């Protein structure tokens, strides 16, 4: 499209510019063409004068209006263009020598004040290149899908306006060359998430979920902000390259201690828990399913929620210096993985199952990062983007077929009606369950192995992760069985309309299915005879961290050179054993699912009846939302009312008004001295005179 460009990296900005153009164009269309049509019939079009006439409902005809076609073209096209530029850029990056694979394009100075100078600059390096490819690639597919999925939506242009805005923000997040820019994208995707979750704003649950997502994310951002302040005042910069470059010197001078690194990274991780829905801030993600399904696929599965992982990977050099943080990250990751997986077991809403699954998978990624296997984390991020997007889109297709029904208890036997959806989703399920050969297997297995073998890892972490993997396999197959197999529990009325989705929806499904199969092949571990291109590609990024950690260790235990790469170098037979074990666990999970939902479909209800309390606990997500509500939100709101009433109204204002009243009533009392009787006046004068003269003489 752009011809033989000598240096595509000068055009990096286009990756942002295309989605931005989409934002502007769709925004204008939404505002100019679409807005008047959406107004309630009785007063649209005449907003300037306040009273439209009656009748005259010219917005009611059913042909696709021209502007919708335009939007349907612009939005995906822009993302595709960005994808192409991204792809070309990455190709050129790959052609450069490994150690110089960092390209920074500075656009303009953004904020400069005192010692702070932050430019709007884009940084393309192996890590961000993975991210932009995933974001634009999966993003494009989801855009295409959305065109079909949202075809009945009145606010069509507005939807794509938000969606493009999301792409822009997400790309800013991953392409920005400094923490501040990452934060910009970070908050930007938060905004889009808010807007898209609350897209159907007339639904109270939707707008509440949107708000919840934003606010919970803000709690995380609080940590991110403080982390940035610490970074700035210690490193004097917020640029990644500068921060990384200054680590050795600062380590040397004793400024960058383990304590400082722990503080910075822990705060960053607080941010990550918010954005990537980890314990304790995961609560927003299941609710986020109120948004349209493509949004769930794009934002709440494939891209945005992985930003936390990206951030940790980006800051690996700092994390490596903070063993405590690493431990925390790993434990939180593992705990989230198992905890969320367990919550996925009982959910009836198809999207909620996937949401908990996402939380759980994100936990894996953090587990990987926490044990120092950043490559594995990023690898799983990528494969997860493929198969989770696929699963979500598939569920969207199911919902589409079911005319909006999301309850799996009212599905069943859909396999016959929606074959493409079924097969693609089945592939996705196999991938997430960790069936060998598919993308999920490689990445998940890598994580499991590192959780066991890494110097930060432990068998406990492995065990937890493995159980979670089994659980995952169980609930995913439960989903498949409930949805596509067995007897139909579909509402009769709905059943008449069940149909396979249009091509605009199924083609992305198929592409993603292919990716879910092959996506993992670029990272086949050496143990399985693979070349692990993926790890080599990312090596320059994570080198710094290992080096820094080495220096830190050296500082601690004088001269003990820790062979950091050592672990990965030789093939441990253990790796194969564990691999087999995890596959076995997955198969075990599938088997249980098969038994419970195919062989003895009446059994699950009985189990639930037998353990009512346990069931209620799990079904209600351990009452965590209620706990937060009761423990924090109620307290804060009631406390605020109390503060306001007690302090503002009853204390300060009472004091202010009290002083005013006192002064005034004192005045009224003073006036009362003025009795109106001359004798009293004269007495006052006499008294005054006596006092004055008396004072003067007997002073």
Ranges within 241-300 binding other proteins (CB under 8 A): none
For other proteins, the binding residue among 94, 518, 605, 637 (CB under 8 A) is: 637
- The residue with tokens 């192995």 is 449
Beta bridge partners of 349: 407
Q: How far is the CB of 110 from other proteins (least distance, A)?
A: 7
User: DSSP states of 35-73 as a string?
Assistant: HHHHS-GGGTT-TTTS---SS--TT---SPPHHHHHHHH
Buried b (16+ CB within 10 A) or exposed e, 148-157: bbbeebebbb
Q: φ and ψ at 3, to 5 degrees?
A: 75, 180
Query: Residue 118 belongs to what H/E stretch?
Result: strand 116-124
Would you give the binding string for other proteins spanning residues 475-514, x where CB under 8 A is met?
----------------------------------------
Position 199 contacts other proteins (CB under 8 A): no
Q: Which of 140/224 has CB closer to other proteins?
A: 224
**Rounded CA Rg of the chain:** 31
Report residue 266: phi and psi, to 5°.
-60, -45
- In the bound complex, what is the minimum distance in angstroms from residue 662's beta carbon to other proteins? 10
Query: Which of 458, 185, 517 lies closest to 333 in space, CA to CA?
Result: 458
Residue numbers 162-181 binding other proteins by CB under 8 A: 180
Site for other proteins in 116-145 (CB under 8 A): 116
How far is residue 365's CA from residue 380's CA, in Å, rounded to a whole number?
6
Kindly tell me which residue out of 5, 94, 96, 111 binds other proteins, with binding defined by CB under 8 A. 111
- Binding residues for other proteins, rule CB under 8 A, total 95
Q: Do 398 and 483 form a contact (C-beta atoms < 8 A)? A: yes
Stretch in the footprint of other proteins (CB under 8 A) among 134-142, 333-341, 585-593, 678-686 = 678-686
Residue 383 CB, nearest approach to other proteins (Å): 30
Closest CB to other proteins among residues 221, 535: 221
Tokens of 505: 């929806």
CB closer to other proteins, 290 vs 575: 290
Verify binding: residue 202, other proteins, rule CB under 8 A: yes
Q: Which residue, 390, 340, 342, 345, is CA-closest to 362? A: 340
**Candidate list 4, 53, 54, 695; residue touching other proteins; CB under 8 A:** 695
Give the integer Cα–Cα distance in Å for 409 and 179. Answer: 45
Candidate residues 113, 253, 561, 613; the one interacting with other proteins per rule CB under 8 A: 113
The structure tokens listed for 252 are 């040397």
Minimum separation from the CB atom of position 162 to other proteins (A): 12
Choices 128-136, 193-201, 544-552, 609-617 (CB under 8 A): range interacting with other proteins: 193-201
Stretch 655-674 residues interacting with other proteins (CB under 8 A): 656, 660, 663-668, 670-674
CA–CA gap between residue 233 and residue 512 (Å, rounded): 44
By CB under 8 A, name the one of 214, 310, 422, 597 that touches other proteins.
Answer: 214
What is the x/- site pattern for other proteins, positions 525-564, by CB under 8 A? ----------------------------------------
632 makes contact with other proteins (CB under 8 A): no
Contact status, residue 348 vs residue 608, Cβ threshold 8 Å: no
Check if the beta carbon of residue 443 is closer than 8 Å to that of residue 380.
yes
Q: Which of residues 446-465 bind other proteins (CB under 8 A)?
A: none
Three-class SS of residue 225?
helix
Q: Closest CB to other proteins among 616 and 664?
A: 664
**Separation in Å, CA 351 to CA 292, 358, 426, 629:** 10, 10, 16, 23
Counting contacts by CB under 8 A, is residue 54 touching other proteins?
no
Identify the three-state secondary structure at position 57: coil
List 24, 77, 219, 528, residue binding other proteins (CB under 8 A): 219
């Amino acid at each position: 499209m752009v011809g033989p460009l000598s240096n595509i990296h000068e055009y990096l900005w286009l990756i942002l510019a295309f989605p931005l153009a989409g934002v502007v164009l769709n925004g204008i269309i939404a505002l100019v063409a679409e807005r008047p049509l959406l107004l309630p019939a009785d007063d649209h079009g005449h907003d300037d004068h306040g009273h439209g006439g009656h009748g005259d409902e010219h917005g009611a005809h059913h042909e696709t209006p021209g502007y919708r076609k335009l939007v349907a073209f612009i939005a995906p096209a822009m993302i595709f263009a960005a994808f192409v530029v991204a792809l070309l850029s990455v190709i050129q990056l790959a052609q450069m020598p490994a150690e110089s694979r960092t390209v920074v394009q500075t656009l303009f100075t953004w904020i400069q004040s005192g010692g702070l100078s932050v430019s709007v600059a884009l940084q393309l390096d192996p890590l961000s290149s993975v991210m932009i490819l995933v974001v634009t690639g999966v993003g494009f597919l989801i855009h295409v899908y959305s065109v079909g999925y949202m075809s009945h939506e009145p606010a069509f242009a507005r939807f794509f306006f938000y969606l493009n805005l999301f792409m822009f923000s997400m790309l800013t997040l991953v392409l920005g060359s400094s923490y501040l820019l990452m934060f910009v994208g970070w908050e930007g995707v938060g905004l889009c998430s808010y807007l898209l979750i609350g897209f159907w704003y007339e639904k109270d649950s939707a707008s509440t979920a949107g708000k919840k997502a934003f606010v919970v994310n803000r709690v995380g951002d609080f940590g991110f902000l403080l982390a940035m302040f610490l970074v700035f005042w210690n490193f004097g910069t917020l640029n990644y390259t500068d921060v990384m470059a200054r680590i050795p010197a600062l380590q040397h001078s004793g400024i960058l201690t383990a304590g400082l690194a722990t503080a910075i990274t822990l705060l960053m991780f607080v941010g990550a828990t918010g954005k990537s829905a980890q314990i304790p801030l995961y609560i927003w993600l299941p609710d986020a399913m109120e948004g349209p399904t493509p949004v769930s696929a794009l934002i709440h599965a494939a891209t945005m929620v992985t930003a936390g992982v990206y951030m940790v990977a980006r800051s690996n050099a700092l994390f490596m210096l903070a063993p405590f943080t690493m431990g925390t990250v790993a434990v939180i990751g593992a705990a989230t993985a198992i905890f969320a997986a367990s919550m996925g077991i009982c959910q009836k809403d198809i999207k909620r199952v996937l949401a908990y699954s996402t939380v759980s998978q994100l936990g894996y990624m953090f587990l990987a990062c926490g044990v120092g296997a950043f490559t594995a984390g990023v690898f799983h991020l990528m494969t997860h983007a493929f198969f989770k997007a696929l699963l979500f889109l598939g569920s969207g297709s199911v919902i589409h077929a079911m005319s909006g029904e999301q309850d799996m208890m009212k599905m069943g036997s859909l396999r016959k009606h929606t074959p493409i959806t079924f097969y693609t989703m089945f592939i996705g399920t196999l991938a997430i369950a960790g069936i060998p050969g598919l993308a999920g297997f490689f990445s998940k297995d890598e994580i499991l192995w590192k959780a066991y073998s890494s110097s930060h890892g432990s068998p406990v972490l492995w065990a937890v992760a493995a159980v979670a993997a089994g659980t995952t396999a169980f609930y995913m197959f439960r989903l498949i069985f409930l949805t596509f197999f067995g007897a139909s529990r579909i509402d009769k009325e709905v059943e008449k309309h069940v149909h396979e989705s249009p091509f605009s929806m199924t083609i992305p499904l198929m592409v993603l299915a292919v990716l879910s199969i092959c996506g993992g092949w670029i990272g086949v571990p050496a143990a399985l005879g693979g070349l692990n291109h993926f790890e080599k590609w990312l090596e320059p990024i994570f080198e710094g961290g290992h080096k820094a950690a080495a220096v830190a260790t050296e500082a601690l235990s004088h001269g003990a050179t820790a062979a950091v790469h050592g672990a990965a170098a030789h093939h441990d037979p253990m790796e194969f054993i564990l691999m087999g074990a995890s596959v076995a666990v997955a198969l075990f999970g599938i088997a249980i699912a098969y038994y419970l939902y195919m062989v003895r479909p009446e059994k699950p209800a009985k189990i639930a009846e037998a353990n009512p309390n346990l069931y209620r606990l799990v079904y209600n997500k351990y009452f965590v939302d209620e706990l937060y509500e009761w423990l924090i939100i109620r307290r804060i709101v009631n406390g605020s009312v109390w503060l306001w009433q007690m302090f503002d109204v009853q204390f300060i204002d009472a004091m202010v008004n009290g002083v005013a009243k006192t002064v005034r009533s004192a005045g009224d009392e003073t006036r009362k001295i003025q009795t109106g009787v001359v004798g009293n006046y004269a007495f006052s004068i006499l008294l005054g005179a006596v006092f004055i003269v008396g004072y003067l003489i007997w002073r």
